[in-house]
Amino acid sequence: MKHPSKPLSASFVKHVRRSGRYGDGGRGSHGLYLRVWRRPNGRIGKAWAQRLRIGGKVTSLGLGPYPVVTLAEARAKALDNRRAAHAGRDPRGGGVPTFEAAAKKVIKLHSRTWKAGSTLPQQWKQTLGDYAFPVLGRKSVAEITTADVLAVLTPIWHTKSATAKKVRQRIGAVMKWAIAQGHRNDNPAGGAIKAALPNVNGQVRHHRALPHERVAEVLSKTRRNTNGLALRFVALTACRVGEVAGAKWSEIEGDLWTIPASRMKTRKQHRVPLSSAALRVLAEAKSDSPYVFPGRGGKPVARQSIGRALEGTRATPHGFRSSFRNWCAETGVPREVAERALAHVVGNKVEAAYNRTDLLERRREIMEAWGQYVS
């Protein structure tokens, strides 16, 4: 830490641009310092922090960003904190949440931007609950160190590398929230820990798919309950499992299913022509629920439940999209039509003309042929 020979001045704080930590020199600084860093976009960031002994342990407290918090205000906060610590109290009080409490706030905050029916909130809760909370849950977000995060990640970094990377990203999101709230000034799950962890050279895992010749055989063996009917609908429409799980009767008119943009991965509305086979599934699934495939408690069927209908095979529901795509390739279906059916973005120059239409009528013929093939 760089200590000027005298206390910081308002002018110095305003104009300093060199990265580093600048202590408020002189008597009565109470461990106050200014942290200066360069952001990825080239701009300069500044924030106040304080080194203070609380309960016998030296701790860093975030006091807020500059210029939102002025030098005078930072000094007043530092003095109040010093007085509280001297009296045996934790100056963070209830204002600095535990990691678990902060994580719940972050999940709620992000949920507003996730698609309706998304399983991401549950995934965040489960991964953080399984791996992060046992180590970090009761710690204040201001106390967590890189060593703490390493203690979470190291046991699963090689054995569950994909999960470990998600856990690290989610811990990082909570830490970024803590920085924005002024509870700390660094991200212990950021660049430093990335350098400390070994590289994991894994191959991309694809969803296991059945050869299209076996789709009819497998579907014929599925039970005619909600899970089995939803699975058949996934196969017959070549839609994503989440799109089918959240399907509502209000989205279906005649032989056309219109999935709103809010439920699409591409964030664009997608029209799905329903084949005769798909309509027969809907006739069997008819109920008083607003959802085509209802689950428990008035909610849509869980995506995991749909997958259970494939137990005993090595395939996944999402793999039916690959089965359909391979069938299209082998039967001469034009690439742009097949890609539209899968709601993929078609973007090269040769295919630009097709971007003006979703090729609904052409897709209607293809989906009818596919429905007959797998029925």
The Cα 183–Cα 185 span in angstroms is: 7
CATH 3.30.160.390 domain locations along the chain = 10-86
CB 78 within 8 A of CB 8: no
In order along the chain (375 residues), what is the average pLDDT of each group of 10 residues? 69 92 80 88 88 78 88 92 78 76 91 80 90 88 87 85 90 91 84 72 55 89 89 94 93 94 86 94 93 90 86 80 89 87 65 60 93 91
CATH 1.10.150.130 domain locations along the chain = 99-196
The Cα 287–Cα 291 span in angstroms is: 8
Note the CATH number of domain 10-86: 3.30.160.390
Is 368 exposed, middle or buried, given 0-12, 13-18 or 19+ CB atoms closer than 10 A? middle
The Cα 5–Cα 27 span in angstroms is: 11
Residue 69, Cβ neighbours under 10 Å: how many?
18
Note the CATH number of domain 99-196: 1.10.150.130
Q: Which of 337, 329, 324 is nearest to 213 (CA)?
A: 324
Q: What angle do CA 266, 270, 271 make, to 5 degrees?
A: 170
Is 31 exposed, middle or buried, given 0-12, 13-18 or 19+ CB atoms closer than 10 A? buried
CATH 1.10.443.10 domain locations along the chain = 212-374
Q: 374: part of which helix (H) or strand (E)?
A: helix 360-374
The Cα 163–Cα 153 span in angstroms is: 9
CB 119 within 8 A of CB 240: no
Q: Model-level pTM greater than 0.85?
A: no
Q: Which of 87, 10, 22 is nearest to 55 (CA)?
A: 87
Would you say domain 212-374 falls under CATH 1.10.443.10?
yes
Q: Quote the pLDDT of residue 346.
A: 56
Q: Quote the pLDDT of residue 208.
A: 63
Amino acid at site 284: E
Q: Quote the pLDDT of residue 357.
A: 67
CB 153 within 8 A of CB 144: no
The Cα 199–Cα 253 span in angstroms is: 51
Q: Quote the pLDDT of residue 73.
A: 93
Beta strands at 32-38 and 20-23: parallel, antiparallel or unpaired: antiparallel
Q: Quote the pLDDT of residue 204.
A: 42
Amino acid at site 208: R
Is 178 exposed, middle or buried, given 0-12, 13-18 or 19+ CB atoms closer than 10 A? buried
Q: Which residues contact 201 (CB under 8 A, 6 or more apart)?
A: none
